[in-house]
Structure 1
Amino acid sequence: MSGIKAGTLTKVISQMLGTEIICADIHTKPLHGGTVGNVQLVTGIAKTTDGREITYNIVVKTQRKWERYRDPDSWRREYDFYMSNFGALFSESFRWPECYHVEINEEENETQIWMEYTDGISGLDLTGNMYERAAEELGRFQGKLFAEQPAFLQNMSNLSRAEYMKDIYLHYRSWNRVYDYIRSDDCGIPKHLCKMLIDIDESADEIFNRIEKLPIVLCHRDFWVTNIIYSDGNIILIDWDTTGWGYLGEDLASLIADEADIEHMVEYYHRCIPAYYKGFSEQADISHITDNCVYEMILLLFGYRLVEGYMDAGSGDQLQETDHEKTLHIRTLQKIFEIKNEQ
C-alpha cells in the first residue's frame, strides 16, 4: 500500500474537487512532519470527464506500525480518529486537516491518510500573537470536550492514558546516563540548572499530587510549533498520533518549551497560560484552579530530554555545530530557570 495508486488518486481527487476525475499526473515532494510517518505532498494536473484540466495538491501520510514507549498503538491512532466522528467536534477557528480518504492494511500494519494541504505560518515563524491565539483556541476546544463529554470519545479505546506524562518522566529519571550526569562533577551543564532538575526529582511525588488534582482533558500531546499552522487567523493542528487523556495545561508545556522560540520563552509562558485558561473557561468553570503546574510540567516533560540532547549533541568532527546544539539546550534550560524566578 505504500505507493500511490492511480485508481486511489483519481478517486480521492474526485472527492476533493467535487467532480469526476479520469486521470492525473503525479509529482511528489517529502514534507516535514510525522516523526515516524512518511508524509508527501502530491501535486499535478487532473483531467475531468469533460476535458477540463485542474491543478491539485494533496498530502498523503503513510504510517507503518511501530511501538512508542507505553503507547504501543499510537501508530494507527490518527487513522482511528479519522474513521470516527471526531472531526465534527472542531470549529472553523480550530481544526485538523480535512481528510478525503483513509486506508489500513492489517497484514502489513500500515495506514494511509489522504488529507488537505494546508498552507500557512508554522514553526519558528509563528509570532507571539499566533502563539497566544493557538493557546486560546486549544483551551476553548478542550473546554468544550470537557463540558460536553462526547460519548464516542469516552468509548474510544485507542487513546494514550492520563499517566503517560508520569510514565515518560519516570522512564527518563530511571535512566542512569542522564540521572547520574547532572549529579556528576564533570557535568558541563551549569550547576544552578542541574539543581533545578534535581529539585524537581526530589519534589516529584508532591508535584504529581498537585497535577493529578487538575481536570483530565483530551490532550494533543505533540502541541509544538511545527504541528501548528496559522492560516487566515485560524489554527490547523496536524499529527494527532500521540493524542490521549492528560491534564489541564499539559499541552502548553510543549507549546512553550519543545524546540520553541528560545528568546521569547518567558514572554510566551506569561502570555499563553492566561489565553489558554480564558478559552477553556468559556466552556467550563475552572475558577477554583489556582495552581496551573505548567512550569512543573515543562521540567517533567523536557528537563531530562534537554540533558539527553546536550549529551548527544553533534560529534567531534563537527565541533562548531556541536557547540551550537549544546548552547541551544543550555539556553532553553536557562529560560525555564528564568520562568521559575519570575513566578
Structure 2
Amino acid sequence: MRARPPPSQETPVHVPSLPECVDTELLVPLVRAETCLPQAEIADWRSHTVDDGTVGDIYVLEGTAQHSPSDARVTEWSLVLKVQRQWARPGDPECWRREFLMYDSGLLADVADALAVPRLVQADTRDDEIWLWMEHVHGVTGGDMATDHYRHAAADLGRMQGPYLAGRELPAYAWLSSRRWASTAVGLWGTPAYHGLWRNGEGEEAATGLPRDLSRDTLRLWERRNVLLDAVDALPRTLCHRDYHADNVFVRPDVANGPTTIALDWDCAGIGTIAEDIGDMVAEALVYFSFPTEDADDLAGAALEAYASGLREAGWTGDAALVRKAFATIMPTQWSLRVARLAQIDDIALMPRYIAVLRYLLALAAEACA
C-alpha cells in the first residue's frame, strides 16, 4: 500500500522531460519488436509524460512506422517507458527494483494467464536506474470504473491467487515486500493520527473534525491493533499485488478469451493474505475514487463474490465465509487509522466521505471480532 496523498492535495508540479538519449535511432529496434515488423522504419513519433509515477517517471511514446523500405504501408505504434530510479519507500528498500524483478524472475509470466500484465518489450538496467519499455495498454480505468468493472478485476485477481491458496508453492524471493506489510501501514498512519483522535475523544472535536464517538471507536481499534494484526498474520497466504486499485487496473469487459483485467505497477508486490488486495481495491474506491459511500456494501459484496468465484475456478476449495472474514479483518486494520489521519489533514469538504467510510470500516471490524 502506497502512502498516497489525500484526494484534495494537488501533486507538486513535476513534468520531467524525456531523457535526451531517447531518439529515433534508439526507438527503431523497440518499435520493430513491438510491431513484429523486423524492417520497420519510424516515420514520426511524439511523447508525453504521465504524472503518476511513484518510484520514477513514466512516458508514453507513440507514432507511425513504415513496414519496410520497400513496403510503404504504415502502422501506428505506442510504447510506455518507465524510468525507475533508486529510492526506498519506508521499510521497503527493494521497491524501485521490484517490478523489473517480477518480470525478470518469470513471476509475472506465471500469473498472466489469469491476470494480464503489460508485455515487457525490453529492460535496460543501470547502476541507479531501470528503464522498462512496455506495451501501452488500454481499457476502463480510474474513476470510470463501475461496480461491474470492479467485479471483473476481483474475479481475475481470484484466478491469479487461487493456485497459491490451493497448494502451489509460494515464491520465496527476498526482494518481495514484507510479510508484515499490514503492521507497517498501521504504524505509518496510526502513529500521527493517535494524538488528534485522543484529544477529540476527550472533547476537542476541532482536533479532527470527526464525531467524538467515531474518534473513541477508532482509538479502541488502535488499542486492539496487535490482536487484529495477529489475526491478519494467521490468514492463508498468497501472492499479492498490494497496490490493487482503479488506477492500476485496466478492465476490458469485451475480451472473449483470457483475463479481462490488466494489472500495472507491481512495485509493491509480495506475499500477503487472502482478500488483502480486495480490501485495498474497495477502500481505494471509497477514499480516492469517489465511489458512492452509500453503495459500499454493494461494491464489497460484488467484489467478494467475484473474487471467491475466481478462487474456486483456480482450484481453491475453501469456504467463502473465510474470504468475507479475511476482508472484514484486514481492511479496517489497514485503513481505519489511515482514514482518520486523512480527516485530520485534508479538505474539510471531504469530511462527510471520511466519516461514512470510517463508520463502514469500524462496522467491518466489529463483524470480524464478533
TM range (shorter): 0.7 to 0.9
Q: Which residue number in structure 1 is paired with residue 164 of structure 2?
A: 145
Cα drift, residue 43 of structure 1:
1.1
Cα deviation per residue 1:93-118 (whole Å; 9 max; x = unaligned)?
52111111111111xx1111111111
1:295 maps to amino acid? A
Structure 1: unaligned runs, 5 residues or longer: 314-321
Q: Which residue number in structure 2 is paired with residue 287 of structure 1?
A: 319
Cα drift, residue 256 of structure 1:
0.6
- 2:123 counterpart of 1:102: yes
Contact kept? 1:262, 1:332, Cα under 8 Å: no
1:18 maps to amino acid? C
2:264 maps to amino acid? I
Contact kept? 1:34, 1:239, Cα under 8 Å: no
Q: Which residue number in structure 1 is paired with residue 3 of structure 2?
A: none
Summarize the alignment of residues 169-208 of structure 1 with structure 2, pairs less than 5 Å apart.
169-173=186-190, 175=191, 177-184=192-199, 185-186=203-204, 187=207, 188-208=209-229
- 2:343 counterpart of 1:325: no
- Count of matched residue pairs: 329
Cα drift, residue 336 of structure 1:
2.9
Between the aligned residues of both structures, percent identity stands at 23
Q: Equivalent residue of 1:25, what SS?
A: strand
Q: Which residue number in structure 2 is paired with residue 161 of structure 1?
A: 178
Contact kept? 1:266, 1:336, Cα under 8 Å: no
From 289, 298, 323, the equivalent of 1:267 is 298
- 2:361 counterpart of 1:336: yes
Cα drift, residue 340 of structure 1:
5.8
Q: Which residue number in structure 1 is paired with residue 241 of structure 2?
A: 220
Structure 1 pair 204/341, CA: closer, same or farther in 2 (3 Å)?
Answer: closer
Q: Which residue number in structure 2 is paired with residue 13 of structure 1?
A: 31
Cα drift, residue 196 of structure 1:
3.1
For 1:324 and 1:30, locate their aligned partners in 2 and report how far apart those are by CA, in whole Å.
30
Cα deviation per residue 1:225-246 (whole Å; 9 max; x = unaligned)?
1111111340011110000011
- State the TM-score, normalized to the length of structure 1: 0.87
- 2:326 counterpart of 1:305: no
Q: Which residue number in structure 2 is paired with residue 278 of structure 1?
A: 309
Q: Which residue number in structure 1 is paired with residue 276 of structure 2?
A: 250
Contact kept? 1:43, 1:55, Cα under 8 Å: yes
Contact kept? 1:60, 1:112, Cα under 8 Å: yes
1:97 maps to amino acid? P
Structure 1 pair 331/27, CA: closer, same or farther in 2 (3 Å)?
Answer: farther
2:267 maps to amino acid? D
2:180 maps to amino acid? E
Contact kept? 1:33, 1:226, Cα under 8 Å: no
For 1:269 and 1:339, locate their aligned partners in 2 and report how far apart those are by CA, in whole Å.
11
Structure 1 pair 80/93, CA: closer, same or farther in 2 (3 Å)?
Answer: closer
Q: Equivalent residue of 2:166, what SS?
A: helix
- State the TM-score, normalized to the length of structure 2: 0.81
